Amino acid sequence: CPRCPGRFLHPIPRDPCRSPQAPHCEHAFCNACITQWFSQQQTCPVDRSVVTVAHLRPVPRIMRNMLSKLQITCDNAVFGCTAVVRLDNLMAHLNDCEHNPKRPVTCEQGCGLEMPKDELPNHNCIKHLRSVVQQQQTRIAELEKTSAEHKHQLAEQ
């Protein structure tokens, strides 16, 4: 999960509506992270009690409602974002956050390629355009071959 590097759970699940909870110990987890955890072992990552995917239940509605109102810093704070948003608005903010290194941007140096913002500094328009030209030449050669085969078939008929 991109929001919890090196960990398998969030102290506060980022998506309370989709966050599962272990029924006996009542620990709540990030859905993606607990699924990854269960691929390695069938225990609660917090207290190591035996838990399987079948045991997990949705967190109670009161907990979802309380969590959704929490104010939380943007995940892109390390990249300079100073926004503090409600947890239930976090995903919408992350999609539009100008500090998101994976936000799609368009190259303005000439080629117009859309790429993640963090790849733009290493982008080379000439290299990209050569690749596009090579792909087009390969496709043209394939189409010419198919056309020649069709002409041959027509001539035979």
The answer to whether residue 14 sits within a structural domain is: no
- Give the list of residues 6+ apart from residue 59 with CB closer than 8 angstroms, or none: 13, 16, 19, 20, 21, 28, 67
Same domain, 57 and 93: no
Residue 5 lies in a domain: no
Among 53, 79, 100, identify where a domain stops: 100
Do residues 105 and 134 both lie within one domain? yes
Q: What does the block give as tokens for 129?
A: 């355009």
53 in a structural domain:
yes
Last residue of a domain, one of 56, 81, 100: 100
Q: Indicate whether 118 and 83 sit together in one domain.
A: no
| Two tokens, residue 34 | 């607990």
Report if residue 63 sits inside a domain.
yes
How long, in residues, is the chain?
157
Q: What is the pLDDT of residues 18-68, one digit of tens each?
A: 566 666 677 777 777 777 778 888 888 777 888 877 778 877 788 777 777
CA atoms within 13 A on the CB side of 83: 19
Q: How would you classify the pairing of strands 57-58 and 71-73?
A: unpaired
* Structural domain harbouring 85: 70-100
Helix (H) or strand (E) holding 115: strand 114-116
In a domain, 7, yes or no: no
Q: pLDDT digit string (tens) for 69-106?
A: 878 888 888 888 998 888 788 888 888 888 888 888 88
| CA pair distance 83, 120, nearest whole angstrom | 24
Give the chain's domain count: 3
Give the global pTM.
0.45
